[in-house]
Amino acid sequence: MSSNRNDDWLRDSHTFSKPVIAEIQRAAREGIYDIRGFGAKRHIPTFDDLVFLGASMSRYPLEGYRETCDTSVTLGTRFAKKPIELKIPVTIAGMSFGALSAQAKEALGRGASEVGTSTTTGDGGMTPEERGHSDMLVYQLLPSRYGMNPDDLRKADAIEIVVGQGAKPGGGGMLLGQKISARVAKMRHLPEGIDQRSACRHPDWTGPDDLEIKIQELREITDWEKPIYIKVGASRVYFDTMLAVKAGADVVVVDGMQGGTAATQEVFIENVGIPTLPAVRMAVAALKEAGMHRKVQLIVSGGIRTGADVAKALALGADAVSIGSAAMIAMGDNSPELDDEYRKIGSASGYYDDWHAGRDPSGISTQDPELAKNLDPRIAGRRLANYLRVLTLEAQTIARACGKSHVHNLEPEDMVALTVEAAAMSGLPLAGTDWVPGRNGY
Amino acid sequence: MKEFNLDQEEIRGLNQHLHDMPSTDPNGSVTVTNPAGKHALAVGIDTPAEVTIEGHVGYYCAGMNQQATVHINGNAGPGLAENMMSGKVIVSGNASQYCGATAHGGLLVIRGDASSRCGISMKGVDIVVGGNVGHMSAFMAQTGRLVVCGDAGAALGDSIYEARLYVRGSVANLGADCIEKEMGEEHLQEVTELLEAAGMTDCKASDFRRYGSARQLYHFNIDNAY
């Protein structure tokens, strides 16, 4: 059979690329926006665009195996009677029982506790497994208030008021019916199997002045013992941080757009919010302007993957970082050993992001009891602890190379930017120059 | 009986005293005078105490209450009895926005009017309002019962789940997925019991109409998205 077709003449459109065409076709076929888990996948400026300068003639480094490089962090020193003492500057971000299996929540607690850091509840409340296996547990107060009760509030080591999330600043939540098991439904006071909507605004306060009074109430209920965090999705970070300080936060958590989610619209994940890189600088600038840097602690999250990311966030002025997606991957999510299983459900290891669908063969983002059995909380907890240790060792390695005896001694002066965009966003000079875009009239 | 005069004593002392009371002592009682609209009064109680506040209170009075009976002889600011778990909160006057928000249990009685978002995201509480309720009341209400002896403002029961709403007067309009439902014998009985518990026996259950979820938003449907 002859054909005039010659593939050499086929030309891809940049505007209408194959994925764009496929999405238009899918939308026309299904009539619903694409919902998925994970964080932003598009290319954005990240900590990869920064490098450390390391010791040189004018700075001297610390020996890797002999000289101490402290990694401890204290959170909640402003008002709380019982601040949280972490051994490492990496915490586990809020992920709900509902989005994750009970086994996964237990594994998070085991892994975090093994290395002396905290884990965080999520929408849906606190499970006994999670409390029992987490030495330090942060209890989230979310707009839905699913599972919120004063007994668990008193059991928590800290309280995190969630105003927003990096994957969807301004958005609420959606837990699809297939993950609303009998237990999840009971904890949330909802009928089993329905699509569960989480509100995007808190039901009993509006704006920072109200929030200040809300915080007063939470402190009174818990006798001023617990540190109170305010978590915001990175958007107007400078003002949000200022207002969080004004409202009385002990700790501000800023979550960049790379931050993961269990289920959000793709259009939201990729197009709302700003990257973690500029968000850190903006938050630190606000804390310094308010005279509260290091007095109100800053936790940064969203796309933290390596000890280098940890070190860079701290060098820009954060007190700690938080991980969610990376913790799931460390526990076994997207494992190549499960590639066949992922392919059976139309994905592949390294690509799986349908965390909302409840069919996760790793047993992490599911409520299916059979799938959940695939995750051994002891093994997954150990893998998470290993990963947290590596993050910490890597951050220490960099800090020592910069001559720092505590990871908090890292400073912006230790870094330069590799791209003009990263220089502008981070406020660091472009490598090989003293040029910071936007400063001194340039 | 212990008395706290908030002209002279701090809120912290009041709440700490309430928290230190034994959780099983049925005889505890506390009177609070000169509340002067102060916030976070009598919050986080977990004892069957009788607390009486003589005057107006600010935000979040009786927040997260467990077991206690809190009487407010005055008006209440926003977030009254938010996330209450059990016990009873009674206001002689009016209540501001979002009273009973997300409350899981117990009985909240407002003898006057309740402002907007009364019973927002309620999760099992019973609320009886002697007067009217404002707009968006029972928004996303999950379970529990709201009885309104007066009128209801706009968008009553918007996006409601399984809570049951009873209104004696007019309803400005119903929110998304909220519909009027038949008033059966069990519902008449339920309203009668709630009115009795609230001490509002001058109302007849047969004068009320019932509203609840059409359950059309329980599963995402593109045709409901606009």
Q: Provide the ipTM.
A: 0.96
Give the predicted TM-score (pTM) of the model.
Answer: 0.95
Q: Is the pLDDT of residue A2 over 60?
A: no
- When mean pLDDT is compared across A27-31, A71-75, A138-142, A393-397, the lowest value belongs to A27-31
Percent of chain A with pLDDT over 90: 84
Chain A environment of B16 (Cβ under 8 Å): 223
Residues with Cβ within 8 Å of residue A428, at least 6 apart in sequence: A50, A412, A415, A416, A417, A422, A436
Contact (CB, 8 A) for A175 and A279? no
Query: Across the interface, which of B40, B117, B218 has its CB nearest the CB of A194?
Result: B218
A337/B contact by beta carbon, under 8 A: no
- Name the residue with tokens 């209540």: B95
Taking the CA of residue A301 and the nearest CA in chain B, the distance in Å comes to: 29
Contact (CB, 8 A) for A304 and A321? yes
The predicted structure's pLDDT at residue B224: 64
What CATH number should be reported for the domain holding residue B83? 2.160.20.60
Q: Is the pLDDT of residue B80 over 90?
A: yes
> CA end-to-end span of chain B, whole Å?
57
Strands A35-36 and A264-265, by their bridges, are: antiparallel
CB-based contact B101 A149, cutoff 8 Å: no
The predicted structure's pLDDT at residue A65: 80
3-state helix, strand, coil in chain A (%, to 5): 40, 15, 45
Chain A environment of B219 (Cβ under 8 Å): 177, 194-195
Query: Across the interface, which of A150, A205, A213 has its CB nearest the CB of B66?
Result: A150
Query: Across the interface, which of A150, A195, A203 has its CB nearest the CB of B98?
Result: A203
Taking the CA of residue A224 and the nearest CA in chain B, the distance in Å comes to: 9
pLDDT band for A1, please (50, 70, 90 cuts). Answer: very low
pLDDT band for A3, please (50, 70, 90 cuts). Answer: low
Residues with Cβ within 8 Å of residue A373, at least 6 apart in sequence: A103, A363
**Euclidean distance between CA atoms A289 and A28, whole angstroms:** 50
Q: Would you say residue A8 lies in a domain?
A: no
State mean pLDDT over A214-223.
Answer: 98
Q: Is the pLDDT of residue A387 over 50?
A: yes
- A151 token code pair: 């007994």
Residue of A nearest to B58 (CA): A213
pLDDT band for A363, please (50, 70, 90 cuts). Answer: very high
State mean pLDDT over A117-134.
Answer: 93
* Residue-wise DSSP of A35-94: EE-S---S----GGGEEE---BTTB-PPPTTTS--B--EEE--SS-SS-EEESSSEEEPB
A149/B contact by beta carbon, under 8 A: yes
Question: B64, B66, B125: which to substitute to probe chain A, counting the most A Cβ within 10 Å?
Answer: B64
The angle that helices A102-114 and A377-401 make with each other, rounded to 10 degrees, is: 40
CB-based contact A177 B219, cutoff 8 Å: yes
**Euclidean distance between CA atoms A242 and A211, whole angstroms:** 13
The predicted structure's pLDDT at residue B222: 66
Q: Would you say residue A88 lies in a domain?
A: yes
State mean pLDDT over A345-359.
Answer: 93
Q: Is the pLDDT of residue B20 over 90?
A: yes
**pLDDT tens for each residue of A132-184:** 999 999 999 999 999 999 999 999 999 999 999 999 999 887 777 777 888 88
CA angle A125, A224, A300 (to 5 degrees): 60
What CATH number should be reported for the domain holding residue A112? 3.20.20.70
- For B101, which DSSP code? T
Query: Across the interface, which of B58, B121, B219 has its CB nearest the CB of A144?
Result: B121
Q: Would you say residue A53 lies in a domain?
A: yes
B158/A contact by beta carbon, under 8 A: no
Chain B environment of A145 (Cβ under 8 Å): 83, 101-102, 121, 123
The predicted structure's pLDDT at residue B226: 55
Taking the CA of residue B47 and the nearest CA in chain A, the distance in Å comes to: 13
Residue pairs spanning A and B at CB distance below 8 A: 101
**Euclidean distance between CA atoms A385 and A370, whole angstroms:** 25
The predicted structure's pLDDT at residue B225: 59
- When mean pLDDT is compared across A54-68, A85-99, A221-235, A268-282, the lowest value belongs to A54-68
Residues 68-127 of B with CB under 8 A from A: 78-79, 82-83, 85, 97-98, 101-102, 104, 117, 120-121, 123-124
Contact (CB, 8 A) for B192 and B173? no
State mean pLDDT over B59-79.
Answer: 98
Q: Is A98 helix (H, G, I), strand (E, B) or coil?
A: coil
Strands A173-175 and A320-323, by their bridges, are: unpaired
Residues with Cβ within 8 Å of residue A221, at least 6 apart in sequence: A150, A153, A154, B15, B43, B44, B63, B64
Q: Is the pLDDT of residue B32 over 50?
A: yes
- When mean pLDDT is compared across A219-228, A353-362, A399-408, B156-165, the lowest value belongs to A353-362
Q: Dihedrals φ, ψ of B187, to 5°?
A: -75, -40
Residue of A nearest to B44 (CA): A221
Q: Would you say residue A10 lies in a domain?
A: no
Our count of domains for chain B comes to 1
CB-based contact A189 B64, cutoff 8 Å: no
Residue B17 structural domain: 2-224
B46/A contact by beta carbon, under 8 A: yes
Residue A220 structural domain: 36-426
**Euclidean distance between CA atoms B216 and B66, whole angstroms:** 34
Contact (CB, 8 A) for A279 and A258? no
The predicted structure's pLDDT at residue A190: 86
Residue of A nearest to B217 (CA): A195
Burial A343-365 (b: 16+ CB within 10 A, else e): eeeebebeebbbbbbbbbbbbbb
Strands A137-141 and A119-120, by their bridges, are: parallel
The predicted structure's pLDDT at residue A176: 74
Write the CA distances from B186 to A231, B182, B197, integer angstroms: 45, 11, 16
The predicted structure's pLDDT at residue A195: 82
Q: Would you say residue A11 lies in a domain?
A: no
Beta strands in A275-417 (DSSP E): 297-301, 320-323, 415-417
CB-based contact B102 A195, cutoff 8 Å: no
A31/B contact by beta carbon, under 8 A: yes
The predicted structure's pLDDT at residue A9: 83
The predicted structure's pLDDT at residue A204: 97
Average pLDDT across chain A, whole number: 94
Taking the CA of residue B185 and the nearest CA in chain A, the distance in Å comes to: 24
Query: Across the interface, which of A144, A150, A217 has its CB nearest the CB of B40?
Result: A217
**pLDDT tens for each residue of A6-20:** 778 888 999 999 999
Q: Is the pLDDT of residue A60 over 70?
A: yes
